[in-house]
Structure 1
Amino acid sequence: MTPTQLRAFACVVRLGSVKAAAQELHVSEAAVSMHVAQLRKEFDDVLFKRTSSGLAFTPGGLRLASRAVEILGLQDRTLLEVSQAGHGKRVLRVAASNLFAEHAAPGLIDLFASRADDLQVELSVRAAARLPSLLASRAVDVAIGPASSSPVPSLALKPFLNYEVVAVVRRDHPLAGAPVTAERVRRLAWCLGPSAAEAEGVVPAMLHRIGVPEKQQQIFQSDAAALEETRGSDGVALAVKFSVAGDLAAERLVVLSGPGLRAQDSWVAMALPEHAQTPAASELLRFITTPRATQAMVRGAGVNLGRFRPAVYVTLWS
């Protein structure tokens, strides 16, 4: 049993076909089939069969799939840790949902990374629904997303910050200053950040409850860009309230009042069970609930990603 064989089998399990696995691994279908055949011979188990509706796995095949992900993740982690140790550096890989990444992550990670000279933090922006699988495969050390997402019992969960999302418009908007009905706001142009396109989270849930038609939704590359459009148009935006506190205080924006136009949620940090966590991941889970961390996360609209310390790396994912 070799890592190459396990990687091929894990790809077949995840993607549901030998052809798709070959494409992802940039090898031939024959090569993937050969690796699977070698595993079948070694374990004396067919592992899976092809059916009209896809692949059907044996109990042994499912167990091997789970173990393959763990073994490959441990191998990758070991290579990374040995490399880090050789250079006197530690790396903490954090994945976060769009809302947290834009509005709270910059202050938190800037402060956390500054506490240790040997620590580098890599932040990637991922869909909330993918966070548990990224942890399970050890692609990241800590994942942060909305508490309203489906809980995963096998993970360590640390709720840490409540927040409110509100509908905002420019101060001289025709609907500003009085309660409005859902029917009226549905006809507005909605200027939205990338979290509106996700399957889970408070923003898509609000849009669903209000019944905003897709044709009225304009998705911008960030909440900041959506708010900028809102300040100069008759559109409406959904904003994390603490991130627009300055605009509300200066009356550049006002909160719309009406059914479904505000909602509350909280963020939760997720990691593998305590015995499987890296020291840096355990440290972040402890730090994230402290008053200093809370202050860093809610100190305004957040720090621009370009102003991160050099020890912090940001990767954006579609």
Structure 2
Amino acid sequence: MDCNGEADSVITIALFNNKGGVGKTTLAYHLAHMFSRMGVNVLAADLDPQSNLTSMFLDEAELEELWGEPSGLIDQGAAPQALISSRVVAAQTVADAVRPILEGLGDVEEILPTRIDTGLWLLPGNIELSRFEDHLSRAWPSSFAGDPAAIRTTTAFYRVVELAAQHAGADVVVIDVGPNLGAINRAALLGADHVLMPLAADLFSLKGLSNLGPVLRRWRSDWQEVVRPRIPEVISAPAGTMAPLGYVIMQPEMRLDRPVKAYARWLERIPWVFSTAVLGVESHSGDRPHEIATLRNYRSLMPLSHDARKPMFDLKAADGALGSTQAYVKTCFHEFRSLAEKILAATGIPHDR
């Protein structure tokens, strides 16, 4: 829903955990690919200034072209200009879209998403997006008073993604954000209908849940109860739902210095912490109703995936997935397919049309 109460046909899902290193971006990348294989039109939006999702989708020469850096690969003849231009448009990133606001020259600029494959598009990130953090921080308190300029700033990401999703004909937007509770993530998450939380079964993830749960609830209430009623009708703005979709356990490599018993102990504590910190309800049940899936560790496939510029579950023998590794690839496919089906069912998005 937008601020005028009109139905919004695009579902937005943000992947978020304020503890880094849990595989959030890898999960976003593979879910975007899997959704598209299931007949769902997908826009992957990289709203993390580190731009790791963008670097997973695009090769180095394309990144150089996209970010306006002198391309040594192009100069050396390793990457033909025509090949790059066919997929990447220079200076078409989220940072470029919000630059008019940052420089006081106007409102957001529509940028064209990059077509990755049939039904799969990328809204590229850029490290320059970090410059927008202070601007967003200053705009937040002014939004409470209904200041139009502040509200345009706070809703900038939502409107940039909205325009890109329309261009791509997206059914779902997968948003990747950084591992923090700063102003950039607040603005990014305000535009999310759902929030999916990748977790590791360890103390750091539990602490991360304890921190982000109350913050998400405060952002939601501040937006919906204070800011949203003051938004001018001419400004397209999000509902600020940010409904917790659940969590996905990212299984670690089991090492001798990290016994299975320790992993199980933290795993048992996650449901209670998720219920109390994220949902704000007491839960003493031994069930795990909000655990969507547990994904095993596929770290041995990641180097092959990176070199081949394709998801782990698409790796072939020609990519180096030989012998028993090919069985591992098939297991990876089935796990991500099952996870994608659960997410689509929970969000009401039809697939395999």
* Interval containing the TM-score (normalised by the shorter chain): under 0.3
Structure 1 length normalisation: TM-score? 0.28
Structure 2 length normalisation: TM-score? 0.25
Higher strand share: 1
Task: Determine which structure has more spread, i.e. the larger CA radius of gyration.
Answer: 1
